[in-house]
Amino acid sequence: ACAAASYNSGSWPSQHKEARAALRYIHTRYPNNKVGVLGHSSGSSLASFLWATELIPDVEIDPNMIPPLGPYPSASLKIDAAVLMSGQFHPYPINTPPCTQAQVWNKTLDNSACEYNYTLGNYSAAQKVNPALYLSSFSTQAIVPAPAMIFHGTNDSLVSACNAVELAQAVENTSFPSSVSSKDYNYTVHLRLIQNASHGSYLETAYPIAATFLAKHLCPTFSSDAVAVGTSPHPLCK
């Protein structure tokens, strides 16, 4: 099943409360199914937030998240796979990329020009929507976040590709306990920087790849032959 949630255009945390309410409803409606999220641009920002905050109680994100929206406040927030496309994860200014596209492309996960420093314990509303802030919660549970595929065009003039680089870097830099294999978190995030692509010019090419990725992690009988790559954006399960 595919669910598309409409959300309020208000400021933090209204959209994020609504997204968590929608996820809780889906888990209540389909309790025995795996759930994935996919979003582009601002939808990607919401999807990444759900992906990273699975283990975080509402009140620990922001007091204004209480009470939770919806009739299922104790339902699961589990995410089994995420596809994040051109999302603004860090509070970089829109239309003013802080690093050059060449730096993003050539340095990928080791890009000091993309670093954004926070004053710990003094997060603004804009900083609280950054999923990287919550990834360390998985390390305390000795588990890793659900697999995620992150797409971003290196020529995106609206949302800097530094966002994608830093989110992938945040997983790489999270200190997981020794009980978690390095192999697990090394392959949690699949970063795909699309050279010379703008904010959405790559979507037609990316959707079949995303469909295969989601089918692999969500469909219990997945076979690579089950997805018609290049012809359909939907994961098809045998």
Contact between 199 and 209 under an 8 Å Cβ cutoff? The reply is no
pLDDT at position 36: 95
pLDDT at position 164: 87
pLDDT at position 2: 78
- pTM given for the model: 0.83
pLDDT at position 61: 82
pLDDT at position 222: 62
Model confidence pLDDT, tens digit, residues 83-98: 999 998 876 555 444 4
pLDDT at position 122: 52
Contact between 86 and 46 under an 8 Å Cβ cutoff? The reply is no
| Residue ranges in the chain modelled with pLDDT below 70 | 1, 7-11, 91-126, 222-238
pLDDT at position 204: 94
Q: Which two tokens stand for residue 125?
A: 């509303």
pLDDT at position 92: 55
pLDDT at position 98: 45
